[in-house]
Structure 1
Amino acid sequence: MDFDDLLLRYFGSADLASVPPGAQVAGIEKMQVDLGLEQDRAKRFALWCVLHLLDAAPDLDVAFKDAADRDAARNFMDLVAATGQEQD
């Protein structure tokens, strides 16, 4: 899954700053629903990563049944934190 394609699919624009707040909320909600329905591990991981960047990801134990997927998500969180891109 391409990051820009995900943004276009859920928010109608690859430039999140141009998306109105209401459309951002709706896009996040749709992405969360799709995460819950997605069966493909790679697609689930991609959706979770974008949701994490948007501070809207579910907890790891909720999102991932497989321990390897949870470990990969922790690694992603560490990488994001190391770049200083994570917003708290």
Structure 2
Amino acid sequence: MDLDALLHHYFGPAGPDPDDAEAFETGISRLRTDMGVERDSGRRFALWAVLHALGSATDPDDVFEDPEEREAARDFAWAADKAAGREP
């Protein structure tokens, strides 16, 4: 999955803009919907990771049935938060 293509698909050419609350929430809602119906675990994880980066990810326990995927999501979130200077 190409991040630029994903952001363009869900948020338009300008990308996610938290200052445009309506467009931002519409993009987040579309992302969540697609993640909810996605069957491929890798694509589902990628969509969840984008939501995490945008501060809108659902708890991994509520998203991933497979324990290994839940653990991978927790590890990803911890590492991403640490890299961004946020305390996990």
- TM-score class, shorter-chain normalisation, is 0.7 to 0.9
- Regions of 4+ moved over 6 Å: none
Structure 2 unaligned spans of 5+: none
> Between the two proteins, what is the percent identity of the paired residues?
40
Residue 32, structure 1, aligned to residue 27, structure 2: no
Q: Within 5 A, what are the aligned runs for 1:22-61? A: 22-61=22-61
Structure 1 unaligned spans of 5+: none
1:47 positional shift: 0.5
Q: Which has the higher contact order (CA 8 A, sep 6+)?
A: 1
TM, length-normalised to structure 2: 0.85
Preserved CA contact (<8 Å) 1:13 1:19: no
Q: CA RMSD in A?
A: 2.1
Q: What is the identity, as a one-letter code, of the residue corresponding to 2:66?
A: D
Preserved CA contact (<8 Å) 2:48 2:57: yes
